[in-house]
Each structure stands twice: as structure tokens, then as C-alpha cells.
């Protein structure tokens, strides 16, 4: 076997309060990637849907991780990657991570699964470096492990899977682009101790809520006093969407990754559908094109087809 197809799913990084340390894998949307093992060194990147992806592997979020993998392998082989990009770059739903994670999981499969999941995260982080200038694993780790993950540390990597009760996810992608690099640039580099205390109380509360199946605690803990007040200014309608979604039955939510997508968690499918209507109503009224997704947590991560 020298070729494989994978589904590389979208992810929600941060989960509101856990900037750079928490992430969740989604059942949809997902990219579709075909990866072929080559007998000669090199990485070839092609876009199936015509989306203008960088073709220089070192500048491509799928290519850079594969280059790192090949360098560690030290063998004269290569990969061809054909990407059908369903998760739009700059959406905040883990587009760059899907390309990076999909590429390394597929390549590892073709190599006979010689690398661990942690190795794959290590390689895939090179893709995030290309995309945002920083190695953050809160999209990569859930994309590879599935479910909800805590990245306790990046150097050295320490990834913890967090069990959670059934949750329904509604996300809206308003068609404005927010580059992760820009959304990181605007953040304050220092925080007040009182804000830090509130934030780590929420992170601990959210993780405890997931592990104890305590929906009320999950809802109370979906609060971000550090990042959201700054980044939400880049997303028209954010405050209104959040307030109305909670009134419509969502447990809570906020900015997905670095935005502009907004996500909400709900206890049941009916609430998730009501939340979708609210999102559509607000963005239609303020005149911003948008896509919505109603989905659930993907427990598997990148899937070999
Ligand atoms: N944790 C990262 C950020 C995720 O918020 O900048 C980017 O998707």
C-alpha cells in the first residue's frame, strides 16, 4: 500500500478560558487528504479544490510537518499530498492544524505506524509555526487524539485526554478573515493577578465539569477574562450572539480559537439547533455572510478512510 485517504477534522482551540492549553475535536467540518508515498525525496503539495495553498513544502502547513518527519527518518523517500480544503484558512476552526495533523497521521500509516501520537503532534507543530509563527498544540492535539485534550506543556509535550459527557456544538463562521498571527499580536503580554486567578479557576472548573459530567459547572466555567475582551472587538456581533445563544439554551461558548468563528456548547441537539437559528439571525441582520455547523465531539480525530 502506498496511498491513503484521511479525513482531517476541524477543532475548537482554547475552549474559551484555556488559551493555548485546551482544545476539542469536531465531527464536522473536515478536510479530505490523499497522501502517497514516493520513492524519491521531496514533498509535493496539490490543492484538489483549487484553493490557493502554498506549494513550497516549507511554507505549507502540511508540508513543514512532513519535512520534519522525513528529516528524523533520514530515508530517501517523499510524499505527495492532495488536499481538498473544506475548512477555510483563517476561520478559527483549526484549518492549519487539520492539514498538519492529517498529513502526519496519513504518512505514519503509510510507514507502518512507526511513530507515536505524541511524535505526530511534535511534527505537526511545525505546521502551526508556519501558520501563526508559534508552536501551539491546542488544535493539533485534539485533531490527532480526538475528544477534548489538555496540553499541560509543549516543551516537553504533555498531553492529557479529558473525558466529557455528550455535548452538542454549534459554530458559526462569519466570512471575515482573522489571521491567528494578528489575533495573537494584539493580546496584552501581561495580566493582573486577580484576572489570572479568575482564569485558572475557570480552567479548573471546566476540566472538573467535563470529568464530573456537571453541565452547570461547564456552563459557569466558559468565561474568559483575558483574551475574549480583546479579540471580540475583531468580530462584529460577538456580544449579541453570545448573549442570545445563552438565552436560547446554550451552556456557554465564545470565540473558536483565534476567531472569527464563534462556538457554543449545548446539552442536547434541540438546543444546538435553536442556537444555530440565533447565530444565523444575528449575522443575517448585520449583513455578514456566514456558515453554521451543528455537530458533536469527534472522539477519534484524524480518520483513515
Ligand atoms: N490558541 C491559539 C490562539 C489557537 O488562540 O491563538 C489558534 O487557533
Instruction: Check whether residue 151 and residue 19 sit in a common domain.
Output: yes
CATH of the domain at 135: 3.30.230.10
Instruction: Please tell me the predicted confidence (pLDDT) of residue 177.
Output: 85
Instruction: Check whether residue 145 and residue 181 sit in a common domain.
Output: no
Cis peptide before 4 (omega within 30 of 0): no
- Average pLDDT in the 95-117 region? 98
pLDDT digits 0-9 by tens, 235-267? 999 999 999 999 999 999 999 999 999 999 999
Beta carbon of 19 within 6 Å of any ligand 1 atom = yes
Instruction: Check whether residue 28 and residue 158 sit in a common domain.
Output: yes
Percent of the chain with pLDDT over 90: 94
Beta carbon of 184 within 6 Å of any ligand 1 atom = yes
Instruction: Check whether residue 31 and residue 158 sit in a common domain.
Output: yes
Instruction: Please tell me the predicted confidence (pLDDT) of residue 299.
Output: 98
pLDDT higher than threshold 90 for residue 291: yes
pLDDT higher than threshold 90 for residue 29: yes
Instruction: Check whether residue 158 and residue 291 sit in a common domain.
Output: no
How far apart, in whole angstroms, are the C-alpha atoms of residue 189 and residue 229? Answer: 14
**Average pLDDT over the chain, rounded to whole?**
97
**Could you tell me which of 165, 174, 176 has the C-alpha nearest to residue 267?**
165
pLDDT higher than threshold 90 for residue 281: yes
Instruction: Check whether residue 111 and residue 72 sit in a common domain.
Output: yes
Instruction: Check whether residue 227 and residue 242 sit in a common domain.
Output: yes
Instruction: Check whether residue 115 and residue 23 sit in a common domain.
Output: yes
Instruction: Check whether residue 175 and residue 47 sit in a common domain.
Output: no
- The total number of structural domains in the chain stands at 2
pLDDT higher than threshold 90 for residue 271: yes
Instruction: Please tell me the predicted confidence (pLDDT) of residue 28.
Output: 95
Q: What share of the chain is helix, strand, coil (3-state, %, to 5)?
A: 40, 25, 35
Residues classed as catalytic: 128, 180
Instruction: Check whether residue 201 and residue 122 sit in a common domain.
Output: no
Closest-CA residue, ligand 1 atom 3, reads 258
Beta carbon of 14 within 6 Å of any ligand 1 atom = yes
Instruction: Check whether residue 156 and residue 188 sit in a common domain.
Output: no
Instruction: Please tell me the predicted confidence (pLDDT) of residue 294.
Output: 98
How far apart, in whole angstroms, are the C-alpha atoms of residue 177 and residue 236? Answer: 12
Is residue 86 very low, low, confident or very high in pLDDT (cuts 50, 70, 90)? Answer: very high
- Average pLDDT in the 272-280 region? 98
The length of the chain is 305
CATH of the domain at 229: 3.30.70.890
- Closest ligand 1 atom to residue 257 Cα is 8
Reduce the DSSP state of residue 99 to 3 states and report it.
Answer: helix
- Closest ligand 1 atom to residue 94 Cα is 8
Is residue 51 very low, low, confident or very high in pLDDT (cuts 50, 70, 90)? Answer: confident
Q: 184 burial class (0-12, 13-18, 19+ CB within 10 angstroms)? A: middle
CA of 51 to the centre of ligand 1 (A): 23
Is residue 232 very low, low, confident or very high in pLDDT (cuts 50, 70, 90)? Answer: very high
Beta carbon of 138 within 6 Å of any ligand 1 atom = yes
Instruction: Check whether residue 93 and residue 236 sit in a common domain.
Output: no
Instruction: Please tell me the predicted confidence (pLDDT) of residue 1.
Output: 78
Structural domain boundaries, residue 102:
3-162+300-304
With vertex at residue 269, the alpha carbon angle to CA 255 and CA 96, rounded to the nearest 5 degrees, is 35
Is residue 49 very low, low, confident or very high in pLDDT (cuts 50, 70, 90)? Answer: confident
Amino acid at each position: 500500500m502506498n496511498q491513503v485517504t484521511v479525513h482531517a477534522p476541524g477543532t475548537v482551540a482554547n475552549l474559551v478560558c484555556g488559551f493555548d492549553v485546551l482544545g476539542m475535536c469536531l465531527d464536522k467540518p473536515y478536510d479530505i487528504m490523499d497522501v502517497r508515498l514516493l520513492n524519491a525525496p521531496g514533498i509535493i503539495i496539490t490543492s484538489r479544490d483549487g484553493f490557493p495553498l502554498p506549494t513550497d513544502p516549507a511554507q505549507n502547513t502540511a508540508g513543514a510537518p512532513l519535512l520534519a518527519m522525513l528529516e528524523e527518518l533520514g530515508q530517501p523517500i517523499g510524499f505527495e499530498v492532495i488536499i481538498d480544503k473544506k475548512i477555510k484558512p483563517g476561520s478559527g476552526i483549526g484549518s492549519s492544524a487539520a492539514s498538519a495533523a492529517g498529513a502526519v497521521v496519513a504518512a505514519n500509516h503509510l510507514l507502518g505506524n512507526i511513530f507515536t501520537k505524541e511524535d505526530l503532534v511534535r511534527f505537526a507543530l511545525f505546521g502551526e509555526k508556519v501558520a501563526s509563527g508559534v508552536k501551539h498544540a491546542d488544535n493539533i492535539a485534539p485533531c490527532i487524539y480526538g475528544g477534548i485534550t489538555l496540553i499541560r506543556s509543549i516543551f516537553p509535550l504533555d498531553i492529557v485526554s479529558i473525558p466529557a459527557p455528550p455535548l452538542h456544538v454549534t459554530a458559526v463562521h462569519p466570512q471575515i478573515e482573522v489571521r491567528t498571527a494578528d489575533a495573537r499580536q494584539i493580546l496584552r503580554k501581561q495580566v493582573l493577578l486577580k484576572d489570572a486567578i479568575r482564569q485558572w479557576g475557570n480552567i479548573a472548573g471546566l476540566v472538573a465539569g467535563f470529568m464530573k459530567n456537571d453541565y452547570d459547572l461547564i456552563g459557569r466555567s466558559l468565561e474568559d477574562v483575558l483574551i475574549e475582551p480583546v479579540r471580540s472587538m475583531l468580530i462584529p456581533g460577538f456580544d449579541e450572539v453570545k448573549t442570545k445563544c445563552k438565552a436560547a439554551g446554550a451552556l456557554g461558548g465564545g470565540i473558536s480559537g483565534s476567531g472569527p468563528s464563534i462556538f457554543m456548547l449545548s446539552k442536547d441537539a434541540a438546543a444546538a439547533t435553536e442556537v444555530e437559528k440565533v447565530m444565523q439571525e444575528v449575522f443575517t441582520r448585520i449583513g455578514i455572510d456566514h456558515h453554521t455547523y451543528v455537530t458533536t465531539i469527534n472522539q477519534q480525530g484524524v480518520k483513515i478512510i
